[in-house]
Homo-oligomer: A and B are copies of this chain.
Amino acid sequence: MNHTESPTTSPWRLAARAAAMNPSAIREILKVTERPGILNFAGGLPSPETFPVEAMRAACATVLGEGSAIAKPALQYAASEGLPELRQWVAGEMAKQGATVSPDQVLITTGSQQGLDLVAKVLIDAGSPLLVETPTYLGALQAFTPMQPQVISVASDDEGVLPEALAAQLESGAEPPRFMYLLPNFQNPTGRTMPEARREAVLAVCRASAGGGLPIIEDNPYGELWFDQPPPAPLLARWPEGVIYLGSFSKILAPGLRLGYVIAPPALYPKLLQAKQAADLHTPGFNQRVVIEVLKGGFLDRHVPTIRALYKAQRDAMMAALGQHMAGLDVAWTQPQGGMFVWLRLPEGLNAQALLPKAVDAGMAFVPGTPFYAHQPDARTLRLSFVTSTAAQIDQGMAALARVIRAAAS
């Protein structure tokens, strides 16, 4: 041993995967946008107006009430799978969407972000190819990155991933991808939804792929937030053995609870469960008990429509404001049928990242689109959230954005 090393040499050696881990670009950007008084369209937060404080308060009082038989069990260690009542509830909800799921296939996770982490651990070897949409959810890229995959972007349009581009990728790839990651409903960041025909076309390519097919990770945090009609049935309902489905309570109840779930084919479930156990033993039992109380009596059947109505009005305000203020500018944007986000493309020659400081100076903030691309970012794109601003703020914010674009484009 070498005892002559300087005592100030760090004793720590990082794993190779740590080098690939980077601070969230969005996180750094959001710091810029938190200047007081800024009209903030950059966040990815649900509207706090939608949080069911009273129902939560009542549920906590029930769970922890005097004489409650579940007070101490709620505070004790719990099963890694999650509580049976909650797993049963998830299976029931999936049945409403046309997917036949046993509660034994449901794993309650610490937010659906943890579902992505568990999937990555169980399915990705260093160098494994996997496919994503263009653009895709940044948090998924962050969850997959530590397992050092080879991420491949598949060309996508306003209806999601392009079946012909997917087929071409599968023909050309040397090693079959481990999975394709898709967010079919009201996608983060674009707000787009895969229509029925696109779902069937993409699934046909996946099922026909070599070696039993190309499996799919279907992420659906926003599906319940539809405005006029529910989205088409989930991919899980169409190919149960080839889809791992991720769901979340963050957008229909509250993200601060960190409650999500994974639905996995029975053959994969035990490995995901073991990964869960190693990751945090179990999802907080207290939170699960409280949410089980909240869900009793069909609370969400009354609550979710109020979120839909609120977000729909905000979407309408956003569409009206964009239509009015962007008139005469070469700007395009998506028409979200649900969810929280609009995706906007700036006129040729502009760069969203470069425009952001000017927008902040003009009193509004957005997120540049670049971090949402695994490759070849379209630097003209940006994401706007419409759910945490009033109609008046949306109008004012889009007017400011239009002024900044006009100045930069001229």
List the interface of chain A (C-beta within 8 A of B). 1-3, 5-18, 21-24, 27, 44-46, 48, 51, 53, 56-57, 60-61, 64-65, 68, 71-78, 109-111, 113-114, 117, 121-126, 128, 139, 142-143, 145-147, 170-171, 176, 178, 206-215, 241-242, 250, 254-258, 265, 267-268, 270-271, 274-275, 277-287
Contact = CB atoms under 8 A, between A and B. Distances in A.
How many identical chains are in the complex?
2
17 contacts: A1-B210, A7-B212, A9-B213, A10-B265, A13-B178, A15-B122, A15-B147, A18-B123, A18-B271, A18-B275, A44-B77, A110-B110, A114-B280, A117-B278, A121-B146, A257-B284, A279-B279
A23 B274 CA distance: 6
Given A15-B123, A125-B15, A256-B77, A111 B280 contact: yes
B258 A284 contact: yes
A14 B60 contact: no
A45 B170 contact: no
A208 to B, nearest CB: 6
A181 to B, nearest CB: 14
B256 A1 contact: no
A275 B284 CA distance: 20
B5 A210 contact: yes
Contacts of A16: 125
